[in-house]
Amino acid sequence: MGSVVKIQPSRVKQALLVLATPHREAQAKAYIESHGGQLIGIKGDAELDLSLLDAEKHQALIFADDVSLQAVGKKAPGPVVVSFEGNTMVHRLKHGGGKGEQVAKAVGLSKVAADRVISVIDATAGLGRDSLILAALGCHVEMFERNPVVRELLLDGLDRASMSVEVMAIAGRMQLHTEDFISGSGAYEDNSVDVVYLDPMFPDRNKSALVKKEMRVFKQLIGGDEDADQLFDPAFRIAKHRVVVKRPKAAPFLAGKTPSVQIKGKSGRFDIYTKKAF
Ligand SMILES: C[S@@+](CC[C@H](N)C(=O)[O-])C[C@H]1O[C@@H](n2cnc3c(N)ncnc32)[C@H](O)[C@@H]1O
């Protein structure tokens, strides 16, 4: 690679620019072969100044020591990276706290014996934060993520976690399916997973709801998950005990279905659809 090629003007909004350090060049090329994007050079190359690019038109996927999604432009915030190690929440969860976490309550962990392993499908894994909490609390979590950039971030996070003494056991309970849950759910029998967890991006999730500036680039990438209502039926079919849907405070019910129970928090809520008590 070496030299920096001129960035082609693109008619696609938010065209993805891919950068790689030499040791990750092959991985970056494999990504582009499967999913598209434009390889523009080696990270750190003096000719390449991401602050000069138009934030409305581009985002950068960077393959370096870690894999990150980076907004471009003058006041771009820091990169979005999936890092399971060094996470203070994980430390707390590993050392006894945690069943009081709202997501843990919503999944029903307080209702099951401490030695019982719950199977959870996180059908909309995103950056894996909810999956991480559930896995740290002992659940076996199968994650689905359909966006190829997000998948790349997640796979990198899981890869690094699998080499970290601190979190390798937790990462061992997290498995990523690199496909859309709506089609992937076809492989599961009815009532075969204890809990299915859904957290699709809500179209109106506004900037203030995305607390960290870094997360705006994630929202730009994903958009609104406009087909989110279609998640409900397959989730309900394969769940044995319950489906849990994370929603922003004022959002309507997913697929217009009224939940059995709700847990309300400051900015969001969990809608719980019970099938069978634990
Ligand atoms: C709001 S984010 C989830 C955040 C996640 N709960 C976390 O803790 O990081 C929603 C994610 O679901 C993914 N998604 C939406 N619909 C999906 C589907 N049908 N199958 C797989 N992934 C989906 C989107 O690509 C996006 O990354």
- The per-residue pLDDT for range 105-125, each reduced to its tens digit, is 999 998 898 889 999 999 999
Beta carbon of 101 within 6 Å of any ligand 1 atom: no
Q: Are 85 and 79 in contact (CB under 8 A)?
A: no
User: Would you list the DSSP string of 103-120?
Assistant: HHHHHTGGGS-TTPPPEE
Burial group, residue 74, by CB count within 10 angstroms (0-12, 13-18, 19+): exposed
Beta carbon of 127 within 6 Å of any ligand 1 atom: yes
Please state, in angstroms and rounded to a whole number, the distance separating the CA atoms of residues 168 and 84.
Answer: 9
What is the CA(147)–ligand 1 centre distance, in A?
A: 8
Beta carbon of 129 within 6 Å of any ligand 1 atom: yes
Sign of CA dihedral 150, 177, 205, 268: negative
- 205 assigned ligand-binding residue: no
Q: Are 64 and 20 in contact (CB under 8 A)?
A: yes
Q: Which residues of the chain have pLDDT under 70?
A: 1-14, 43-48, 96-97, 204-212
What is the CA(92)–ligand 1 centre distance, in A?
A: 25
Q: Which two tokens stand for residue 237?
A: 């079919």
The pLDDT assigned to 177 comes to 97
Answer CATH for 88-274 from 3.40.50.150, 3.20.20.140, 3.40.190.10, 3.30.56.10? 3.40.50.150
Please state, in angstroms and rounded to a whole number, the distance separating the CA atoms of residues 42 and 72.
Answer: 16
Q: Which helix H or strand E contains 18, and what residues bound it?
A: strand 15-20
Best of 215, 225, 243, 267 for a ligand 1 pocket test (most atoms within 8 Å of beta carbon): 225
- Report which protein residue has its CA nearest ligand 1's atom 23: 124
Q: Are 27 and 63 in contact (CB under 8 A)?
A: yes
The pLDDT assigned to 204 comes to 66
Domain ranges of the chain: 15-71, 88-274
* 3-state class (DSSP) for residue 130: helix
Beta carbon of 181 within 6 Å of any ligand 1 atom: yes
Q: What are the strands, taking DSSP E only, across 21-165?
A: 38-42, 58-63, 67-71, 119-122, 140-144
What is the CA(150)–ligand 1 centre distance, in A?
A: 9
Q: Which two tokens stand for residue 19?
A: 């950068």
The pLDDT assigned to 208 comes to 52
